[in-house]
Structure 1
Amino acid sequence: MEQVLIKAAQLILSLSILVILHEFGHYAFARLFKTRVEKFYLFFDPWFSLFKVKKGDTEYGVGWLPLGGYVKISGMIDESMDKEAMSQEPQPWEFRSKKAYQRLLIMIGGVLMNFILAFIIYIAILYAYGTEYLPTENAKYGIMVNEAGEEIGLQNGDKILAVDGQYIENFQKILPTVVLDKAHTITVERDGQKVDIEITDEHLVPLIKGEVDITPRYLFDCSVGKVAKDSPASEAGLEKGDKFVSVDGQTFQFYDQFIKYLRAHKEKQVTVSVLRDNQPMDIPVVVSEEGKLGFQADFDEETMSYLQTKTTKYTFAESIPAGINKGVNTVKDYLKQFKLIFSPKTKAYESLGGFISIGNIFPGAWDWYAFWNMTAFLSIILGVMNLLPIPALDGGHVTFLLFEMITGRKPGEKFLEYAQITGMIILLALVLFANANDIFKLFK
């Protein structure tokens, strides 16, 4: 429960920062061009607000529905659908009275703020923390894969040499590269031989869904970490800190060999030998029908020293171009992800998630490094999504404005009104679909 609350708190704080700065982008350009802003709200306020105060022509407030936020700009057809105001004669301070380029800047102000914020966060992260990653060549014992990984052709102990002929320096970027670039082959070294594993569209489905797990191969030198409640490990009496020695008298060189042994003994009793306070103990355990005992393994840092990471530090001057480059690459990668949604073969649309999925990307313990990384990523998502040419999104307004600037003809207000309604229906359908996916996954 505590982890859920921490994730929820991080999500709310992150979205609050993003919404306020996004709407401030619209607000700032509106003020620059002397356009009246009637409301500036964090979260939506149907029927009532939690807090509000009026300064000048603008009402600032906090709504009760945490699904975003908004600025209400005079003389603009938006989600408020204020038909009465739009039926009056245009006033000099209204959005509709401004020049096309001014209206365009007002509309893209929010997206600009999202991208600028992401770049600033990445610059700050690189300056404060640098980058730490595991070079692929340092996974000296190769990889460890789960059953889904084995189904696409990978094996425990494979050493990944290339993806579509390209060497991937950062081990953590192997899977994203395979998915985002829709790679056709993964080249591995297996038993001293080079093997090309073909990746088909069918293989991309479990990869996109996150069902394939590829990690560096760990030595079998671990202890019991967190024990799941009502699990076989808990019922048998395994305790946190118990150090594994053998199972049924068999010792293992690698952790995946231990996992494979358990899978081969589903719903059977095995004898786990451990050291508890340096005293040997034999504990009988019945393996679950999934082939698991129900514990989290703890690997000693000293025994993990064979996985040497690489750290790159940046001066402030170096962090600026590096942070911008990281932001640009993140935008490119997200666009590739977005493109996959429209590919029926990959079924990426099934992985669309709502607030539960977004909340789960934050760690269960408060971590400022992770928090700012995720906030920067969400800022880019918000910026890209708002550029979609869907009425009711900034991109929809921008599309109509570009049409006006190119043709010299302004779309009629009745057309804009119907377009806004259509866009809101589309967005509502997308939100319902994404959150329904989350609920379905909970009960799957």
Structure 2
Amino acid sequence: MEFVIRVSQFLLSLSLLIVLHELGHFIPAKLFKTRVEKFYLFFDVKFSLFKKKIGDTVYGIGWLPLGGYVKIAGMIDESMDKEQMSQPPQPWEFRSKPAWQRLIIMLGGVTVNFILAYVIYVFVAFIYGDKTTKIDSLKDGYWIENQLLQDIGFKTGDKVVKVNDIKIVNDYDVRSNIIGAETITIRRQGEEKVITLPEDFLGQFSSAESRELFERRIPFMVGAVQDSSLNKSADIKPEDIITSIDGKRLRYFDQLDSIMSNYKNRTLEVEILRGDQKITRDLKVNDKGKLGIQAAFDNDRFAELGYYDIAIQTYTFGESFGAGGADFVETVQKYGAQLKAIFNPSTGAYKGVGGFKAIYSIFPSVWSWQAFWVLTAFLSIMLGVLNLLPIPALDGGHVMFLLYEIISGRAPSDKFLERAQLVGFIILIAMVLSANINDWI
């Protein structure tokens, strides 16, 4: 079921972004009386799942979910339609239009991507508001599980004070500023300490077994009892919170292993918080020191129990435009920093570039419209920025040649554009293959 929910969110988000991006090219093309021969969601290699011709345009759905496209008459694109380009230019063709009109057509897709992301952020701010966790409310610091962070010098219980020179106010600020971070200032047992990250920290992190960073310290909430567990028939329920084991207080889940290592193959009395009541149960420990119980996460419940404070900021419809705009600008800046790190080999960040599996994995395993729209807004920005890269075969490549034509007063030859398109297509395929290979290594 988890797989179905994630795939559904992934395909819905991808389809929405593709259709609207291509619509961004389609609408100005039609306004400038340029013929659009095809409008496709996904690629129709050899055959289509659906197609219907309306006017001059064939609308369809391909079978290969790697993107989508509009085929504009008289344009050198990935279709490499040399036969059409060898004919005399026609008034309805892309190549017959003024350079400024062609520029608007090519910029239409990324423009829609950025507008869509902004609109989503506005409505998310208006409908859901902002939930933030003040860093000061994490009284016992962070859970440091990642061995890489431990090797660098971090320990469970550390409180993050600054990332570079940026003072940390909210829990979210730690993760959002980690890209490009050189130093992190922590407070440990009342004293501040500056930890310097290695230059290739992002590369090491991408290759590490754990992808956890600075995690909140939370209680041991029961999610599910494993089928193989010795406690399968025990009277424990989802959302129970185990607060002590054999008389030893268990405030945080990260304390569990150190306690359980001494109780292999034993039956222990545990104290459980169920709702507002405390109860005791006898649970069995296997030969590996495990209870066979999967943990769960409930942000609001943990805040209610005083593990941290959640501040909720609501916005009027008018205020949402400013709040959504701030989220949009921040996301663009953060993604720009990610790209800068990726294109700097010394950071090793390129090792963490993922493909479709990585995108699929960021969607939650339960359906959440708030998470869906926030992720769709981020992917829309990502799609817009990537399409602006000056690589032939991408919108940015076409824009680069059009700007050259506008500035110099002469257009590159069709032969040059065909070769550039082929080179760009090879580069693009190599990038896609590299990203998707990273998903599996």
Residues 139, 307 of structure 1: 8 Å contact kept: yes
Taking the aligned partners of 2:42 and 2:413, their CA distance within structure 1 comes to 30
TM-score, normalising length: structure 1: 0.89
Partner of 2:383: 382
1:58 maps to amino acid? T
Partner of 1:119: 118
Residues 247, 270 of structure 1: 8 Å contact kept: no
Decide which moves more: 54-63 or 128-137: 54-63
Taking the aligned partners of 2:168 and 2:206, their CA distance within structure 1 comes to 19
Partner of 1:368: 369
1:256-267 alignment, distance < 5 Å: 256-262=254-260
1:356 maps to amino acid? K
Name the % identity. Answer: 47
Residues 203, 352 of structure 2: 8 Å contact kept: no
Q: Deviations over 1:37-57 (max 9, x none)?
A: 111111111222122222221
Q: Which runs of 5+ in 2 are unaligned?
A: none
Q: Deviations over 1:198-253 (max 9, x none)?
A: 222244434456624312333x5x342223454x6668979544653544664344
**1:172 matched to 2:172:** yes
Partner of 2:309: 308
Taking the aligned partners of 2:387 and 2:27, their CA distance within structure 1 comes to 18
Q: Deviations over 1:121-171 (max 9, x none)?
A: 101110111110101111122222114232221222222222223212221
Residues 126, 313 of structure 1: 8 Å contact kept: yes
Residues 142, 159 of structure 2: 8 Å contact kept: yes
2:162 maps to amino acid? A
Residues 162, 184 of structure 2: 8 Å contact kept: yes
Over aligned residues, Cα RMSD in angstroms?
Answer: 2.5
Residues 238, 283 of structure 1: 8 Å contact kept: no
Q: Which runs of 5+ in 1 are unaligned?
A: none
Residues 245, 273 of structure 1: 8 Å contact kept: no
Shift in CA distance, 234/427, structure 1 to aligned 2, threshold 3 Å:
farther
Partner of 2:187: 189
Partner of 2:270: 274
Taking the aligned partners of 1:86 and 1:147, their CA distance within structure 2 comes to 56
Taking the aligned partners of 1:136 and 1:170, their CA distance within structure 2 comes to 5
Partner of 2:406: 405
Residues 285, 291 of structure 2: 8 Å contact kept: no
Taking the aligned partners of 2:352 and 2:320, their CA distance within structure 1 comes to 34
Decide which moves more: 196-205 or 130-139: 196-205
The runs of 4+ residues in structure 1 deviating greater than 6 Å are: 233-238
Aligned residues: 430
Partner of 2:344: 343
Shift in CA distance, 302/168, structure 1 to aligned 2, threshold 3 Å:
closer
Partner of 1:104: 103
Partner of 2:198: 200
Q: Deviations over 1:160-199 (max 9, x none)?
A: 2222232122212202312x2x223222221121222222
Shift in CA distance, 131/106, structure 1 to aligned 2, threshold 3 Å:
same
1:435 maps to amino acid? N
Residues 134, 308 of structure 1: 8 Å contact kept: yes
Decide which moves more: 110-119 or 192-201: 192-201
Query: Matched residue of 1:274: which SS?
Result: strand
Residues 265, 287 of structure 1: 8 Å contact kept: no
- Deviation of 1:325 (Å): 2.2
Shift in CA distance, 260/173, structure 1 to aligned 2, threshold 3 Å:
farther
Residues 244, 272 of structure 1: 8 Å contact kept: no
Residues 269, 280 of structure 2: 8 Å contact kept: no
TM-score, normalising length: structure 2: 0.90
Residues 243, 274 of structure 1: 8 Å contact kept: no
Query: Matched residue of 1:41: which SS?
Result: strand
Shift in CA distance, 265/377, structure 1 to aligned 2, threshold 3 Å:
farther
